A and B are shown apart, each in its own frame.
Chain A
Amino acid sequence: MKKIGAQIFIDCLLKEGVDTIFGFPGGAVLPIYDVLYDAPLNHILVRHEQGAVHMADGYARASGKPGVVVVTSGPGATNTVTGIATAYMDSIPMVVFTGQVPTALIGNDAFQEADIVGITRPCTKHNYLVKSLEELPRIVKEAFYIATTGRPGPVLVDIPKDVLMAFADVKHPEKITLESYQPNYKGHPGQIKKAIDMIMASKRPVVYAGGGVILSNASDELQTFITKLGIPTTTTLMGLGAFPGTHPLFMGMLGMHGTYCANMAVTNTDCLIAIGARFDDRVTGKIDEFAPFAGIIHVDIDPTSISKNVKVDIPIVGDVKNVLKELIKGIPGPKGVKEFKKNLEEWHAQVTGWENTHKLSYKQDPKGKIKPQYVIEKLYEATKGDAIVTTEVGQNQMWAAQFFKYDKARTFLTSGGLGTMGFGFPAAIGAQIAFPNKTVIGIAGDGSLQMNIQELATAVQYKLPIKIAILNNMVLGMVRQWQEFFYDKRYSHTCISVAPDFVKLAEAYGAVGLRAKTIEEVEKVIKEAMSIKDRPVLMDFKVDQFEDVYPMVPTGQPLNKMLLV
């Protein structure tokens, strides 16, 4: 039977198991919106296309399912770019559909034409321009396949309006094969054996786990592996939650704002086991002095990650979950493990020593201004950690990483690679839509939040009980901190005290606004916010403007040269 292109498109989505899409209409996608009018799909109407992409991203990070976005051509498409680049840097599975001007007009500078395939080529895993209705089902299927397999990532599909309006009787492919795309899932057995040998011979091992563990749904395997051997563990920002934050073997995050313990352990380890992590410069500090005494094992599904920044001794290309299973199988019997653990005693003592010398800390004067870290701790206490936390970018992000403990994967959602201000709030909306009954907290800076504040309308429209906690320091805090440390306290253009009254703003949108100016008010505000179940709450915490994030490894310094409180 012949069907209109837009209907075939929606059929393709349904066949992929899509139930939720984030979108914003416009001329080029009118045919799709006409079909959506009575399609069995949950469409979330956003207020800005960037918001749609971050929502789909938050949805994907929280649920593991690919996020789906539909926007119109031209400005609709270009508004998605920051969101796509954010997802690309963090390897988040997502498919973005953009409308395009009719095929005959492409290249003519037609109204609302933008070469979005050209624009997004470097920030998508792959992208397509659909040239005929006949190829649409195959391309949609390939798009989802590519987005969700191997190292995941965003895929963009640009669909001209005439394709959406054509009629055809098309077959949906059951299977697709891509000759040139075959990710390698199984680690090489020889390499796995070598890795086990290196680990078992080590006396000061460290596991350094990243976001890849979460993407591969391998946190159970990771935990089994680590606890069997008793290896001290650190994670990257993206890896928080991959290993329980409250576990005695967890040393905290490493890197620029990592814990003293994690950074010292990585500097002194003789065997660094990197799992689903990519040696980002925010993690390694000065690269030549990173883990100088260590043999390095690196497990990653993406061969380009291996030996890109740091020379690796034993690379294992494969899916983290599969490789961890093999590593666990390779662990010697009880006698070998016992001996190994005995050899680690000295190392554990040293790690504990570091743990106790410089714990993450701050000073809360009971009569003074609210410290932002205090707010995070109280949020943790109020939820007992049972929440999905999203962050914006800056100091708020680092304090959320340091002072909230994440015991489960997919509960800490943050823009790690691109560091996109404006990510956290829409990501919280996406997470809440994926998990309507969970507590979702968006930890925000007053600067970042204003980058996508318009999505309050979306959150109100869908009655989402998101808790936004603004650590309101009236400055672009992280930039101010760098100016304080490295630019002689010349606070150039980082003061944003001209800001809306966030409580009134929340109310204007139909959300709830609450404010805490004193320490006593913090817990009261949190308690009240947690009791609201039918709409978003914005908590405005007036915090100390001059609080800094510690520890800090200044750029270009090795990890053990930290500025400490």
Chain B
Amino acid sequence: MRHTISILVSNEFGVLSRISGLFSGRGFNIESLSVAETLDAKISRMTIVTRGDDKVIEQINKQLNKLINVIKVTDFTDEEHIERELALIKVTSNPESRAEILSIVDIFRAKVVDVSPRSYTVEITGDEEKINAMTELLRPFGIKEIVKTGRIAMARSPKQK
């Protein structure tokens, strides 16, 4: 099963390679990884999407916690949370297809961020399903390139009672 794990780490050099080294050294897989500073510049957040049965996920959590630079590990899987990813999609366009592409972009509330005579570059944000759905609709026009950020996640605030 797929898990989105958020890791707070001290913002020191080499931390990323400690984490990625742990995954590769122990044969855990990484589907995506994103890193950035938090509000506190001394701390970074990594969001890793990984896959594994319960035993593997338990090991991943424990092994991450064991690293000296890791402050906190949260597995979002069983928690109410929001996930987002951003994708840039460069799609072939010509006079006949432009209108249709633009309407797809519109439906998904995406944006055209670059235009050339033969292509549109579309920016879309959302969860994986949304990005996949749009990708599939654009595919018949000819996708030249896709770049994705990898997933980020945040716990939902508790609802007021």
Task: Name A's B-contacting residues (CB within 8 A).
Answer: 117-118, 121-122, 125-126, 129, 146, 178-181, 302-304, 306-308
Residues of A within 8 A of B58 (CB): 307
For residue B62, CB closer than 8 A to chain A, the reply is yes
Nearest chain A CB to B19 CB, angstrom units: 11
For residue B21, CB closer than 8 A to chain A, the reply is yes
Are B59 and A180 interface neighbours, CB within 8 A? no
Q: Contacting B65 at CB < 8 Å: which of A125, A129, A303?
A: A303
Proximity bits, B33-65, A CB within 8 Å = 1, else 0: 000000000000000000000010011001101
Residues of B within 8 A of A179 (CB): 10, 71
Q: Which 3 A-B pairs have the closest CB atoms?
A: A304-B62, A126-B68, A180-B71
Are B66 and A304 interface neighbours, CB within 8 A? yes
Shortest Cβ distance from A127 into B: residue: B14
Listed residue (B18, B68, B69) with the most chain A CB atoms within 10 angstroms of its CB: B68
With A117-B14, A307-B55, A307-B58 already in contact, the answer to whether A302 and B66 are too (CB < 8 A) is: yes
Nearest chain A CB to B44 CB, angstrom units: 12
Q: Contacting B68 at CB < 8 Å: which of A118, A180, A307, A308?
A: A180
Residues of B within 8 A of A303 (CB): 62, 65-66
With A180-B10, A180-B69, A308-B59 known, 14 other A-B pairs at CB within 8 A are: A121-B21, A122-B21, A122-B22, A122-B25, A125-B68, A129-B13, A146-B68, A180-B67, A180-B71, A303-B65, A304-B59, A304-B66, A306-B62, A307-B58
Nearest chain A CB to B75 CB, angstrom units: 15
Nearest chain A CB to B56 CB, angstrom units: 10
Q: How far is the CA of A302 from the CA of B18 in the complex (A)?
A: 19
For residue B70, CB closer than 8 A to chain A, the reply is yes
Shortest Cβ distance from A305 into B: residue: B62
Q: Contacting A180 at CB < 8 Å: which of B14, B62, B70?
A: B70
Nearest chain A CB to B42 CB, angstrom units: 10
Nearest chain B CB to A142 CB, angstrom units: 9
Q: How far is the CA of A271 from the CA of B13 in the complex (A)?
A: 46
Nearest chain B CB to A107 CB, angstrom units: 12
Q: How far is the CA of A307 from the CA of B53 in the complex (A)?
A: 13
Nearest chain A CB to B43 CB, angstrom units: 10
Residues of A within 8 A of B13 (CB): 129
Nearest chain B CB to A407 CB, angstrom units: 34
Residues of A within 8 A of B69 (CB): 180
Shortest Cβ distance from B42 into A: residue: A179
Q: How far is the CA of A129 from the CA of B21 in the complex (A)?
A: 17
The size bracket of the interface on B is: 20 to 34
For residue B116, CB closer than 8 A to chain A, the reply is no
Nearest chain B CB to A318 CB, angstrom units: 15
Q: How far is the CA of A423 from the CA of B5 in the complex (A)?
A: 40
Are B14 and A121 interface neighbours, CB within 8 A? yes
Q: How far is the CA of A1 from the CA of B32 in the complex (A)?
A: 51
For residue B17, CB closer than 8 A to chain A, the reply is yes
Shortest Cβ distance from A311 into B: residue: B55
Q: How far is the CA of A308 from the CA of B61 in the complex (A)?
A: 12
Proximity bits, B1-29, A CB within 8 Å = 1, else 0: 00000000110011001100110010000
Are A304 and B14 interface neighbours, CB within 8 A? no
Residues of A within 8 A of B59 (CB): 304, 308
Residues of A within 8 A of B22 (CB): 122
Residues of A within 8 A of B18 (CB): 121
Q: How far is the CA of A307 from the CA of B65 in the complex (A)?
A: 16
Q: Contacting A181 at CB < 8 Å: which of B17, B21, B62, B68?
A: B68
Residues of B within 8 A of A180 (CB): 9-10, 67-71
Are B17 and A121 interface neighbours, CB within 8 A? yes
Nearest chain A CB to B38 CB, angstrom units: 14
Sample 13 A-B pairs with CB under 8 A, ordered by A number.
A121-B18, A121-B21, A122-B21, A122-B22, A122-B25, A129-B13, A179-B71, A180-B67, A181-B68, A303-B62, A303-B65, A304-B62, A308-B59
Q: How far is the CA of A178 from the CA of B67 in the complex (A)?
A: 12
Shortest Cβ distance from B13 into A: residue: A129
Residues of B within 8 A of A308 (CB): 59
Residues of B within 8 A of A181 (CB): 68
Q: How far is the CA of A306 from the CA of B25 in the complex (A)?
A: 19
Q: How far is the CA of A442 from the CA of B100 in the complex (A)?
A: 81
Residues of A within 8 A of B65 (CB): 303
Segment 67-81 of B: residues with Cβ below 8 Å from A: 67-71
Listed residue (B22, B59, B66) with the most chain A CB atoms within 10 angstroms of its CB: B66
Q: How far is the CA of A122 from the CA of B22 in the complex (A)?
A: 7
Proximity bits, B82-119, A CB within 8 Å = 1, else 0: 00000000000000000000000000000000000000
Residues of B within 8 A of A118 (CB): 14, 17
Residues of A within 8 A of B14 (CB): 117-118, 121, 129
Nearest chain B CB to A91 CB, angstrom units: 12
Nearest chain A CB to B137 CB, angstrom units: 44
Shortest Cβ distance from B58 into A: residue: A307
With A118-B17, A121-B21, A122-B21 already in contact, the answer to whether A304 and B68 are too (CB < 8 A) is: no
With A117-B14, A121-B18, A122-B21 already in contact, the answer to whether A304 and B70 are too (CB < 8 A) is: no
Nearest chain A CB to B157 CB, angstrom units: 25
Nearest chain B CB to A134 CB, angstrom units: 16
Shortest Cβ distance from A121 into B: residue: B21
Nearest chain A CB to B6 CB, angstrom units: 15
Residues of B within 8 A of A117 (CB): 14
Nearest chain A CB to B26 CB, angstrom units: 9
Residues of A within 8 A of B66 (CB): 302-304
Q: How far is the CA of A161 from the CA of B22 in the complex (A)?
A: 30
Q: How far is the CA of A179 from the CA of B68 in the complex (A)?
A: 9
Q: How far is the CA of A304 from the CA of B25 in the complex (A)?
A: 15
Nearest chain B CB to A287 CB, angstrom units: 12
Q: How far is the CA of A121 from the CA of B14 in the complex (A)?
A: 9
Shortest Cβ distance from B65 into A: residue: A303
Nearest chain B CB to A504 CB, angstrom units: 45
Q: How far is the CA of A180 from the CA of B71 in the complex (A)?
A: 4
Nearest chain A CB to B152 CB, angstrom units: 21
Residues of A within 8 A of B17 (CB): 118, 121
Q: How far is the CA of A308 from the CA of B56 in the complex (A)?
A: 9
Q: How far is the CA of A129 from the CA of B66 in the complex (A)?
A: 20
Are B62 and A178 interface neighbours, CB within 8 A? no
Nearest chain A CB to B67 CB, angstrom units: 8
Q: How far is the CA of A304 from the CA of B64 in the complex (A)?
A: 9
Nearest chain A CB to B52 CB, angstrom units: 13
Nearest chain B CB to A313 CB, angstrom units: 15
Nearest chain B CB to A436 CB, angstrom units: 35
